[in-house]
Amino acid sequence: MGKRVISKLRDILSLIKFSHSIFALPFALASMLVGAEGIPPLKTILLIIAAMVFARSAAMSFNRWADAIIDAKNPRTRIREIPQGKLKRQSVLNLTLLFSVLFIVTTFFINRLCFFLSPVALFIIFFYSMTKRWTSLSHLFLGLSLGVAPIGAWIAVTGEWSWIPVVLGLAVLFWVAGFDIIYATQDLEFDKTEGLHSLVVRLGLKESLFLSRVFHGVALLFFVLFGMIGHLGLIYFVTILGIGFFLTYEHSLVKPEDLSHVNAAFFTMNGIVSILFLVGTVLSRL
C-alpha cells in the first residue's frame, strides 16, 4: 500500500513537472524583495511560495488533461502519465480543481486584492493550454502565464497595483516565449500533421529561431528597465550581463540543422538564467 502511494505521488510530481518551478518562482521572489524593499515577514514569503506552487501545479495538471489525446499521438509525449495509463484523465482534472482551490484559499490569507485577482490568474494560466489549437502566438501566451507571477508577488507584499512589476512581467513574457520557441522545434513535423499552431510551424526553423533571439533581446531590455525603475544597484546590472551571456550561449546550442541540444538549451540554460536573476536581485537589494 505504501509503495503504491509513493508511486502515485511520484507520478503526480512528474505530471506537474515540479522541477520546472525554477522558471517562475525566482522572478516572483525577486519581485517580492523589490516590492517589500527588503525581506517581508516569513509568513508572507511562505504564502507566496505556496500560492506559486499551487497555481503552477493547477496549470500543469490542466495542460496535461487538455492535451491528453494530443500527447498520446506524439512520439515525444506519449510517455507522459495519462497516455501511459499511470494516471486517469479524470483524476488529473480532479487534481486541477484541488490545486485551484488551494491557490485561491492561499491568496485569501495574503491580502484582499490577491484574493479578488486569483480567478483572473487562473484564467490566464489555463487559457494558454488551448492557444496552440488556434494561434501561432501560443508562445507569448505561455510567457504571459509565467509573467503574471512577479506581478502577483508584488501585490502580495504591497497590497496594491504598480507598473514596476509589470515591466518584470514583460521581461519574463519575452524570455519564456523565446525559449518556448526553441522547445517547440522538437514538434515541428508533428504539429504540422495535427494542424497545431506555433511560430515554428508558421515561420520555419531558421526564421523562428531568429525571432527567439529577438524575443530574448527584448527580454534583456525589460530586465534592464526593471533594474532602473526598481532602483537596483550595480550588482544587478552585472548579473544581467551574465544572463545575456547565457542566453547567447543557449542560442549557440540550437541550429536549424542541429536540434540535438534543445533540452540542454531549454532547461539547463534557462534554469541558470532564473537563479542568476534572483541572486543578482537579492545581492543588489540586501
Whether the CB-CB separation of 211 and 203 falls below 8 Å is answered with yes
Lowest mean pLDDT among 150-164, 185-199, 251-265: 251-265
pLDDT at residue 13 greater than cutoff 90:
no
17: left (phi over 0), alpha (psi -120 to 50) or beta: left
Span 147-161, mean pLDDT?
A: 96
DSSP output for 57-79: HHHHHHHHHHTHHHHHH-TTTTT
pLDDT of residue 1: 54
| Choice between 57 and 257, residue whose per-residue pLDDT is larger | 57
pLDDT of residue 227: 97
d(CA 136, CA 89): 26
For 10-285, CATH gives 1.10.357.140
pLDDT of residue 42: 96
The DSSP letter of residue 9 is H
Q: C-alpha dihedral over 232, 249, 271, 109, to 10 degrees?
A: 40
pLDDT of residue 38: 87
pTM: 0.94
202-227 confidence digits (pLDDT tens): 999 999 999 999 999 999 999 999 99
Number of C-beta neighbours around residue 189 at 10 A: 9
pLDDT of residue 182: 94
d(CA 8, CA 5): 5
Domain edges within the chain: 10-285
